[in-house]
Structure 1
Amino acid sequence: MNKKRWRNYALWVSIVSQVLLLLQLLGHLTGLFDLTEVMKNDILAVTDVLLGLLAT
């Protein structure tokens, strides 16, 4: 396997975001945590800002 691939910043951003999405889904499905509507809106706002920064 090409070792340069593992040094790619975009690869690690993708992996981390997919792992976080998986954890969120598993937490919701198992009922380990439940977010209130206010918490969801706050998290969505922070996520939008982070994705905007990553896009630039």
Structure 2
Amino acid sequence: MQTDEEVICDFSEETKELSEETKKDIEEARKEIKAGKISTLEDVRRELGL
């Protein structure tokens, strides 16, 4: 039986390489952040009426 730490380590080793789609999504998100297209948690709560 593996410890939690071993499971996390094994999982992270398997996912070190990001897919091209994920890399593209990250780059797009960075562009949106730079352009100020973000919402704070407070904004989202207000929008959802929470």
Q: TM-score, normalised by structure 1?
A: 0.37
Q: TM-score, normalised by structure 2?
A: 0.41
Structure ranking higher in helix proportion: 1
Query: Rg bigger for which structure?
Result: 2
